[in-house]
Structure formats: structure tokens, C-alpha cells
Structure 1
Amino acid sequence: MPILSIALALAAAAAPQKAPREQSPVPREVVAPIGAGNSDDEIARQIAAADAHPLGTAANPIRVGGPEGARAYLAGLRCGDGKSPQIGAARQGGVGAFGSLLQLYPIDCGSAAPGRVELNVDQYQEEHKETRPPAGFQLRR
């Protein structure tokens, strides 16, 4: 019996086996973009295209770094009369111009300009700190 076990083990080891990659290759076009990110030129094109739209829209969201960046930016907003607006609770706003999920903030300036608006904020832009205010607002720095 032990001889039979040894013979079976040797036969199994001697059988040609293909490497896992040879058995199930992953197409190069699937794995090539992984970790590649966007080139600086592509990012510059996306920013230029977004800048053609009003700041705070889904097509040109306010770009900040995380929830802290959003809070800091919104805390600096001033209505047309110079007073702080009422800022409502954020809700999910869909996918923005840069491919990130947006947060949609209701902003209320009351009777002052710009009145009631909703601003789209992209919190996944760690490398950018927005310094411009949306139309009708001022931004305290």
C-alpha cells in the first residue's frame, strides 16, 4: 500500500502543469489602466472644461479636500449682504465632472443675493483648495 501511495504522488508531481496565468490570462487592456491615474494633461483638460460652467454646479463642482475642506470652504461663504448663509445638511448629489461622488449643500441667504441655491462640492480633490466664490457669494479667507 505505501508503494502505491508513493507511485501516485510521483505521477502527480511529474504531470505537466500550466502556470495559473497561462490557464486564465487577463487581457492587457483590463489591467493596463490600474494604478495609472490621469495624466497632468488630462487633468488640465478636465479643469478647463469644468471652468466653462458656473462654479458650484455638477459640471464645475467646488473642489475641496475631504469633509474638513468642505466645512472650511462653506464657513467662509458670505451672501451678497456680507452675512453668513444658512447651510443645510448635505445629501448625495451624483457624479461630478471629475468622476467623484458629489455632496449637494442647500444654501440659504434669505432675501439677500443669491437667495436659495444648492452647491455641488467634490470632497475628493485633496490637491486643490478652492479660492473662488460661486456667483453671488463672497468668500472670506
Structure 2
Amino acid sequence: MRSLIRLTFLAAALAAAPAAAQKLGARTATPDQVLSQLGSGLTDEAIARDVAAAEAHPLGTLANPVRVGGPAGERAYLARLRCADGSAPAIGPSTAAGIGAFGSLANRYRLDCGPRAPGAVDVVFDMYHDGHVETRAPAGLTLAAG
């Protein structure tokens, strides 16, 4: 009986070894790779059509979310946003905004410039665009050099 318990424990430890070798939380594939593995990958032409259609709407809305690469891309973009007077807005927590123009779940952040223009605004992000770096700011805001 003890041998069976030891054998079971050894088998479990060996099975867990490859997973333990990988850093917890490390990205194993880009969002595009994951989507293509699931059969939901889009062609470059389809993405270009979606981007062109979204451009008809204000940047930072659900119809035209700011495209960034992952949570790090959201944070980097938010760090560069400035109120009309050049000061950094207060940034609220991320909330789910719904399905955006590109077919993925979008995140919304409340930015508050206080009494300075543009006041309090919501900015919507689609973080499933690895490699894309947005160079424009939503209406009323500017982007600091970065």
C-alpha cells in the first residue's frame, strides 16, 4: 500500500514538473495565436476592414476602442494620456465595457481631469492587438511623448 502511495505521489510530481518550470503567469502565446488556435483568428484583410469601419467613430469608444497589446499596453497608454492643460488625469479602475468593434471584450477606464477640460471621460480599450501602439488620443485629451 505504501508503495502505491509513493508511486502515485511520484507520478503526480513528474506530471507537474513541466508546468512548474514555466513562470507562473507567463504568456505562452500572443492573443492572436490563441485566437487562431481556437479557430477565431482574423485575416489581415478582415482586421483592416474592421479598423477602417471603426475609424468612423470617436477613438476610445466601444465602436472604436483604443487598440493596445495586453494589460501592459493599457497601462502604458494610460500613463501617456494628459488633460487639456497637460496634467495627468486620475484613472479609475477597469470595468468591462462589452464586446467592442473588433469582436472581443473591451475594458473601460474612467479618467477624471477634475475641473480641467475635458472633465470626467470614459476611455474604452481593446487589449487584443499585440504590436499595435496607438499614437492618437481620444477627443479632449492629449498624449505625452513616450
Indicate the TM-score class for this superposition, using the shorter chain for normalisation. 0.7 to 0.9
Partner of 2:57: 53
Q: CA deviation at 1:120?
A: 0.5
Partner of 1:7: none
Which stretches of structure 1, 4 residues or more, deviate above 3 A after TM superposition? Answer: none
What TM-score do the two structures reach when normalised by structure 1? 0.73
Partner of 1:74: 78
Provide the rounded CA distance (Å) in 2 between the counterparts of 1:35 and 1:119: 29
Deviations 1:26-60 (A, max 9, x none): xxxxxxxx647222221111000000000000000
- Secondary structure of the equivalent of 1:89? strand
Q: CA deviation at 1:112?
A: 1.2
Flag structure 1 segments of 5+ consecutive residues without an equivalent. Answer: 1-33
Q: CA deviation at 1:121?
A: 0.7
Say which of 114, 133, 139 aligns to 1:110.
114
What is the identity, as a one-letter code, of the residue corresponding to 1:130?
A: E
Aligned length: 109
Provide the rounded CA distance (Å) in 2 between the counterparts of 1:89 and 1:36: 29
Distance 1:102 1:36, change over 3 A: closer
Flag structure 2 segments of 5+ consecutive residues without an equivalent. Answer: 1-37
- Secondary structure of the equivalent of 1:102? strand
Distance 1:36 1:112, change over 3 A: closer
Partner of 1:15: none
Partner of 1:39: 43
Residues 1:127 and 2:131 aligned together? yes
Identity of aligned residues (%): 57
